[in-house]
Chains A and B, each alone.
Chain A
């Protein structure tokens, strides 16, 4: 469905995208994971034909984005990161407008808008202005607008930012069912749990590059059963960090702040005991000591030394 071949993009002589290569199969849910500024939104803009790429090639259903932009735009539904709706227009009018912009005609547009309103659970508020909706409801209409023309490829750019858990669940379930129905989905987020839940395959982006990609199992395997240890201490010293780093079972130590340490462990129980011992010896007060199973976040930490939310 989508083939991205070594695309590059520079702004004012600064390379924002340094050569991304991806392939997404028809019917697949593909996750793009990365912290803010990793190049996810720029990559999406290039796939949608909004931003021209300097080098490489993007093919959607075999068509070049550069050569056949209009044909490609008909196949893609884009859910932007912001609420790209007209706040003083009703939910129904917004959906009708976006549907018509994709070529839907009067009666078809109306029946499709009603379907979408039902799908996003807002049929009883169809005539109300978007500005009266909660953040979660706005997000649902934001997604609905991208579904009006029944796209083959749905690209969602951080669709759950700043919303309540109920709306978030509703969105995740909607996306899951759309994917089950055969729609190809590209889902970008810095919430790794959403990406893990929805996507079959994932690419992790950082500084405009793909630093890891594969199925969730393949990515987990890269960690080889590693564990992440989150420690909140009163005040640590450089010497204390060096001592922890020198332990056999420690793969990496990342100081997130003056008090927060993220430690990637190769071995689990024995190393944790050692860390506690070192803390006592160095007179370091531990406020919080939390062990997390290996996940995409720990993989990102391993690869970049930073957390996804950095």
Chain B
């Protein structure tokens, strides 16, 4: 109960601090708008990410072979795509789990024929952990090729049918095979020259630059609460309110819990306000399952609150907490993908980024936005972030108790 009183008091103080409100709410919204708009071109139609693609092909139709030869193994794709042919779907999944490939593509039997017939037997795309952009890239290639073939096939059929009709009306005999082949060849050339990178879809929906940066800014600016939580300890110590709290019949455990809860609640509130404002003002779609987003925010805020205890414990003054917190937020933000998408990082940095809670949060927010997140797939990030929060809080509390 007293912990809640302390937490509510901390929230009240933060909400009355206009400077903090600007930093914590207005800044991320403005930055989302700026980055989402300015980097739209880079993220939505920029250079393709380097991707190792595992391919399991069950189809031997010439359209399918054309896709593999003219698109996936084309000269233009060489710098972006490395193809690994596998013998089975099981092997493909194994490669994904082992991190040998970034994404997997299964082209089912009759895929090519179905495209020519104007129908579609869907190709299956598998995504490696943390490889949303790579999977999105492969999906975009496949979709664009499929649409192109369907369009060309439809127009070839239409053109040849017209030629046959006209020849019949003129009383001439007409062999459609030759013009059909010429049209198909011309169309195939056009398909091969098509720009396949137009959008960045993840899962079954596209994630726009605005969406990505909304999630990135939320992940980054929530981190400032770790710094603010740590600072509030030093402020209370400096003004003797901490001593006064200790002079009340309140245990030190309840005071520490109160400080933790205060940071947790503030971070959650910040996220909620940010999510609502970006949704209504910047039209950011946070995904179809709001509960997934909220659970994730809950876990991420918990991790941030844990970090605030570490900042409080391992800094000596408000200024030190400010300095270390600011640098820490920036390092975490860069590592966690808030500045540049994690997918564009080299392998080693991608692995290092996993030690940051914001990397887990951002990846999962993007998954939810893209519709590829399931409750099962969110379990790991949620548990990792709660675990990080618990460990950080335990270290912080232990050190604070030793210190004071």
Contact = CB atoms under 8 A, between A and B. Distances in A.
Given A70-B249, A83-B239, A78 B244 contact: yes
Secondary structure dominating the interface of B:
helix
Interface stretch (A84-92, A166-174, A238-246): A84-92
Interface in B203-255: 239-241, 243-251
Nearest to B241: A84
A100 interface: yes
Contacts of B9: 86, 89, 97
Given A81-B240, A84-B241, A86-B241, A101 B248 contact: yes
B16 A50 contact: no
A48 B240 CA distance: 14
Interface in A65-110: 70-71, 73-74, 76, 78, 80-89, 93, 97-98, 100-103
A84 B12 contact: no
A135 interface: no
B5 interface: yes
A97 B244 CA distance: 12
Contact of B17 (A71, A80, A88, A145): A88
Nearest to A157: B240
A84 B240 contact: yes
B181 interface: no
B2 interface: yes
B239 A82 contact: yes
Given A73-B248, A103-B249, A86 B13 contact: yes
A66 to B, nearest CB: 15
A101 B240 contact: no
A49 interface: yes
Contact of B247 (A50, A71, A89): A50
Contacts of B2: 100-101
| A48, A74, A83, A86 interface centre (most CB from chain B within 10 Å) | A86
Nearest to A148: B248
| B2, B9, B13, B249 interface centre (most CB from chain A within 10 Å) | B249
Contacts, number: 61
B247 A76 contact: yes
Interface string B9-42: 1001100110000000000000000000000000
B243 A101 contact: no
Nearest to B250: A101
A86 B2 CA distance: 17
A49 B239 CA distance: 19
Contacts of A81: 240
B257 to A, nearest CB: 14
Given A85-B241, A86-B241, A101-B2, A73 B13 contact: no
Contacts of A100: 2, 5
Given A50-B247, A86-B13, A89-B12, A97 B239 contact: no
Contacts of A87: 239
- On chain B, which size bracket covers the interface? 10 to 19
A98 B12 contact: no
Nearest to B248: A101
A122 B246 CA distance: 26
A98 B244 contact: yes
Contacts of A74: 249
Nearest to B258: A101
Given A88-B16, A100-B5, A80 B249 contact: no
B259 to A, nearest CB: 14
A155 B192 CA distance: 86
Interface string A33-63: 0000000000001001110000000000000
A73 B247 CA distance: 6
Contacts of B244: 78, 80, 84, 98, 145
Contacts of B241: 84-86
A48 B17 contact: no
B239 A101 contact: no
Contacts of A145: 244
B5 A102 contact: no
A87 B239 CA distance: 10
A73 B2 CA distance: 15
A45 B240 CA distance: 12
A288 B140 CA distance: 94
A50 B246 contact: yes
Contacts of A49: 246-247
A24 B251 CA distance: 27
Nearest to B18: A88
Contact of A101 (B5, B13, B17): B5
Contacts of A80: 240, 243-244, 247
Contacts of B13: 86, 88-89
Nearest to A69: B249
Contacts of B16: 88-89, 129
Contacts of A98: 244, 248
A48 B247 contact: yes
A193 to B, nearest CB: 25
Contacts of B247: 48-50, 73, 76, 78, 80
B208 to A, nearest CB: 39
| B2, B12, B243, B245 interface centre (most CB from chain A within 10 Å) | B243
Interface of B: 2, 5, 9, 12-13, 16-17, 239-241, 243-251
Given A85-B239, A89-B16, 9 more contacts: A80-B240, A80-B244, A83-B239, A84-B241, A86-B241, A88-B17, A89-B12, A93-B12, A100-B2
12 contacts: A48-B247, A50-B243, A50-B246, A50-B247, A71-B249, A78-B244, A83-B240, A84-B244, A97-B5, A100-B2, A101-B5, A101-B248
Interface of A: 45, 48-50, 70-71, 73-74, 76, 78, 80-89, 93, 97-98, 100-103, 129, 145
